[in-house]
Amino acid sequence: MYKLAWKYWGHIDSAPNNRSASLILYHLEHYINGAIMQTARIQRTRKNIDKNLREEMSSVKIAAYASRTRSRDFSLLRLYCDYHFYFDCIGQINKLLKRLCKELPSSDLKNIHTKFTEIFGEDIDLRDALEHIDERAINKKRGEPIAPIRDWGNFAGELFSFAGRGHAVNKQQLNKLTQIYEKIIDVLHRNYATQNQGFVLREQMEQRARQSKSLLRYLKKTGVI
């Protein structure tokens, strides 16, 4: 989980009275954290479903089997909803990063956005399909006819499939996402925040405060004070 956006509030914007870039980063971090939370929720729900399935396979009591089957049905619904919000987060991250590139023209940020779409492009398309499921149900996309969809959402291990395409949600994908966010922060810090005098002064004051605390701990530990 990240709590970095506050540090750059008002220090990366294009004008003193403009907080657009700060707001974009603030919400971008929210959806990065949302994707982190959803990945953990999805993994927990999958483990519970697998556990229930193993118990059902070993059970000989029909009543207990039926009860667990109903519970599993709700677990599958919970899993579907968790996947849906994860892909919502990916879609919002894409929109916010694209907006940030416009607000702060930077080849570094544009390269990061290009990398993001290369990795998560199919997930962005899936988010669009899930958000406009009413249109897909009548075989249309943005008003244009499309081939009928046969796969409306299934689960296979770490994959969520839709329209015959599998979408992985796992630690590997999450690592790629967090690496992208850390690169965004690095660009904003290096190219924008460090050019802001107020940010530089605050960084210097915080560094001196950390040094003072470290010195105080050392003096106490050595018995000098």
pLDDT tens-place string over residues 196-205: 888 888 777 7
- Of the pLDDT bands very low, low, confident and very high (cuts 50, 70, 90), residue 51 is confident
Beta bridge partners of 147: none
pLDDT for the residue numbered 203 = 78
Within this chain, do residues 52 and 146 fall inside the same structural domain, yes or no? yes
CA distance 91 to 77: 21
Within this chain, do residues 168 and 201 fall inside the same structural domain, yes or no? no
CA distance 110 to 33: 22
pLDDT for the residue numbered 222 = 78
CA distance 148 to 135: 11
Q: Is 208 left (phi over 0), alpha (psi -120 to 50) or beta?
A: alpha
pLDDT for the residue numbered 202 = 78
pLDDT for the residue numbered 76 = 87
Instruction: Phi first, then psi: give them for residue 109, nearest 5 degrees.
Output: -65, -40
Kindly state the average pLDDT of the residues 73-98.
Answer: 93
CA distance 180 to 65: 45
CA distance 193 to 190: 6
Within this chain, do residues 186 and 211 fall inside the same structural domain, yes or no? no
Q: Does position 62 have pLDDT exceeding 60, yes or no? A: no
CA distance 22 to 11: 8
Model pLDDT for residues 105-159, shown as the tens digit of each residue: 999 999 999 999 999 999 999 999 999 999 999 999 888 999 999 999 998 888 9
Angle, helices 62-103 vs 20-58, to 10°: value is 160
By the 8 A CB rule, do 135 and 141 touch?
yes
Q: Does position 181 have pLDDT exceeding 90, yes or no? A: yes
CA distance 173 to 180: 11
Task: Look at the alpha carbons of 59, 68, 49, 150 in this order and tell me if their dihedral is positive or negative.
Answer: positive
Q: Which residue has the tokens 């939370």?
A: 37
CA angle 164/167/168 to nearest 5° reads: 145
pLDDT for the residue numbered 70 = 53
pLDDT for the residue numbered 67 = 54
Within this chain, do residues 178 and 105 fall inside the same structural domain, yes or no? yes
pLDDT for the residue numbered 69 = 54
Within this chain, do residues 141 and 203 fall inside the same structural domain, yes or no? no
Within this chain, do residues 210 and 157 fall inside the same structural domain, yes or no? no
Within this chain, do residues 119 and 201 fall inside the same structural domain, yes or no? no
Mean pLDDT of the chain: 88
By the 8 A CB rule, do 94 and 117 touch?
yes
- In total, how many domains does the chain have? 2
Q: Does position 48 have pLDDT exceeding 90, yes or no? A: no
Q: Does position 211 have pLDDT exceeding 80, yes or no? A: no
Instruction: Phi first, then psi: give them for residue 161, nearest 5 degrees.
Output: -105, 145
What DSSP state is assigned to residue 13? -
Q: Does position 167 have pLDDT exceeding 60, yes or no? A: yes
pTM for this prediction: 0.84
Q: Does position 65 have pLDDT exceeding 60, yes or no? A: no
Contacts of 4 (CB under 8 A, 6+ apart): 29, 185
pLDDT for the residue numbered 218 = 67
More confident residue, 47 or 170: 170
Within this chain, do residues 148 and 213 fall inside the same structural domain, yes or no? no
Within this chain, do residues 123 and 218 fall inside the same structural domain, yes or no? no
Within this chain, do residues 141 and 215 fall inside the same structural domain, yes or no? no
Query: What is the span of the domain harbouring residue 167?
Result: 5-191
Within this chain, do residues 102 and 167 fall inside the same structural domain, yes or no? yes
